[in-house]
């Protein structure tokens, strides 16, 4: 099927842009987060197309006064991958890799958003992530991550929030490839095993630099994927020998404190201490949501709103995936920097260093 994308010189195969191969689970996603200097206001957006499901969905989350407000939208894609809008939500690329805009205009739900994201540094390409369950590929994706500044306005019911670049920072990522989306496979792969996924992802902003690191561990605690970058003076420095030390809140899998160390090319050590302030639930953005999960067909032009009280910590499966807004302390040689960012956590199944042996043991 010929679509608008075919008028741009972006083809990589001798087929129309609307075709992405035979994998039903192909996805192409925008993700953004933003926060003010003390982290009391937080917002996030996700928008994704699923070409082989012919669906598009998106969401906007606003955290204010201890409540997480979730606005979700879903529609039929009609194969137009360049139409990055769904329902009342729209993502606009103003200047690729430099500036983008988020728009929400939902009068029914009382939310209006006009926010521009400007990159502080060039985007970082993370190593390609490929994961398998036996012979079956479950994830094969590429991601780029970028730190930036926000400006614009958020209007929600009787609240007006002015967002300035002096006070609001955040991060975004673009990821695409294959991961589980839509309905699960109807035929499980024998023999049945306890699902296992240990994921930490931690982008952060400081006054004159940014950092980004992540881990994927196997059940023995060995990193199968890890990466660490510091950006300053328009230069990205990839660090080596990344290590972690994690402390959990008693009776949970929620992280109380995270310590990371890495080495520069000259062998000097850099360290981070992450102290969570509070966390938001990624199911507000569709991740693991039982009804509004990514790639689920909801009908034409559908939307929903709900909210979560962040004073309650729900440990049911939809709420396991979180982003914890954290104070970051970065020590680089003799200099200590204070910053803010997130620690994304999805901890399922066994993980020997943490003492986890079952699917969700650790929660009381």
Mean pLDDT of 36-45: 97
Neighbours of 84 (CB within 10 A): 19
Domain ranges of the chain: 25-176+194-354
3-state helix, strand, coil split of the chain in percent (to 5) is 5, 55, 40
DSSP 8-state secondary structure symbol assigned to residue 354:
G
Pairing of β 169-178 and β 111-119: unpaired
Cα distances (Å, whole numbers) of residue 213 to 20, 176, 226, 261: 30, 19, 7, 10
d(CA 223, CA 210): 23
Q: Answer yes or no: is pLDDT of 283 > 80.
A: yes
Tens digit of each residue's pLDDT (9 = 90 or more) over 65-87:
999 999 999 999 999 999 999 99
Spell out the residues 6+ positions from residue 52 whose beta carbon is closer than 8 angstroms to its own.
20, 21, 22, 23, 24, 25, 26
Q: Which of 124, 121, 170 is nearest to 150 (CA)?
A: 170
- Please give the backbone phi and psi of residue 6, each rounded to the nearest 5 degrees, phi first: -75, -10
pLDDT confidence of 364, banded at 50, 70, 90? Answer: low
Tens digit of each residue's pLDDT (9 = 90 or more) over 148-194:
999 999 999 999 999 999 999 999 999 999 999 998 888 878 888 88
Q: Which residues pair with 53 in a beta bridge?
A: none
Helix (H, G, I), strand (E, B) or coil at 353: helix
Averaged pLDDT of the chain: 95
DSSP 8-state secondary structure symbol assigned to residue 352:
G
d(CA 330, CA 337): 5
DSSP 8-state secondary structure symbol assigned to residue 47:
E
The tokens 């559908």 sit on which residue?
Answer: 302
Q: Which of 155, 127, 153, 151 is nearest to 228 (CA)?
A: 127
d(CA 340, CA 325): 7
Spell out the residues 6+ positions from residue 335 whose beta carbon is closer than 8 angstroms to its own.
none
Spell out the residues 6+ positions from residue 304 whose beta carbon is closer than 8 angstroms to its own.
71, 72, 292
Picking from 90-99, 170-179, 228-237, which range would have the lowest pLDDT averaged per residue? 228-237
Q: Answer yes or no: is pLDDT of 98 > 80.
A: yes
DSSP 8-state secondary structure symbol assigned to residue 286:
T
Per CATH, domain 25-176+194-354 is 2.40.370.10? yes
Mean pLDDT of 194-205: 96
- Please give the backbone phi and psi of residue 336, each rounded to the nearest 5 degrees, phi first: -115, 130
Tokens of residue 227, six digits: 């990466």
Q: What is the pLDDT of residue 182?
A: 92
d(CA 34, CA 40): 11
d(CA 96, CA 118): 10
- Please give the backbone phi and psi of residue 206, each rounded to the nearest 5 degrees, phi first: -120, 175
d(CA 349, CA 336): 36
d(CA 233, CA 237): 10
């Amino acid at each position: 099927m010929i679509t608008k994308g075919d008028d741009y010189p972006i083809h990589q195969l001798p087929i129309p842009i609307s075709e992405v191969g035979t994998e039903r689970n192909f996805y192409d996603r925008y993700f953004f987060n933003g926060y003010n200097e003390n982290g009391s206001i937080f917002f996030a957006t996700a928008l994704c197309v699923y070409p082989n499901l012919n669906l598009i969905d998106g969401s906007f989350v606003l955290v204010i006064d201890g409540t997480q407000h979730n606005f979700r939208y879903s529609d039929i894609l009609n194969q137009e991958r360049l139409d990055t809008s769904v329902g009342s939500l729209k993502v606009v690329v103003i200047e690729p890799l430099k500036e983008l805009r988020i728009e929400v205009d939902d009068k029914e739900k009382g939310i209006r958003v006009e926010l521009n994201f400007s990159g502080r540094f060039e985007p970082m390409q993370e190593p390609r992530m490929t994961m398998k369950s036996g012979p079956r590929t479950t994830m094969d994706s590429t991601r780029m991550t970028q730190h930036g500044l926000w400006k614009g306005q958020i209007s929600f019911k009787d609240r007006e929030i002015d967002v300035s670049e002096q006070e609001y920072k955040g991060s975004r990522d673009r990821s695409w490839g294959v991961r589980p989306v839509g309905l699960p496979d109807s035929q499980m792969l024998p023999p049945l095993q306890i699902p296992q996924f240990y994921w930490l992802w931690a982008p952060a902003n400081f006054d004159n630099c940014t950092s980004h690191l992540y881990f994927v561990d196997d059940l023995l605690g060995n990193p199968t994927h890890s990466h660490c970058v510091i950006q300053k003076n328009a230069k990205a420095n990839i660090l080596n020998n990344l290590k972690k030390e994690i402390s959990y809140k008693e009776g949970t899998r929620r992280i109380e404190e995270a310590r990371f160390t890495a080495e520069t090319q000259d062998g000097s050590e850099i360290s981070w201490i992450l102290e969570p302030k509070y966390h938001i639930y990624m199911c507000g953005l569709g991740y693991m949501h039982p009804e509004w999960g990514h790639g689920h067909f909801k009908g034409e032009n559908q939307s929903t709103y709900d909210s979560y009280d962040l004073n309650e910590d729900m440990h049911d499966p939809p709420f396991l995936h979180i982003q914890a807004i954290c104070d970051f302390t970065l020590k680089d040689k003799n200099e200590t920097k204070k910053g803010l960012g997130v620690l994304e956590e999805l901890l399922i199944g066994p993980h020997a260093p943490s003492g986890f042996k079952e699917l969700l043991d650790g929660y009381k």
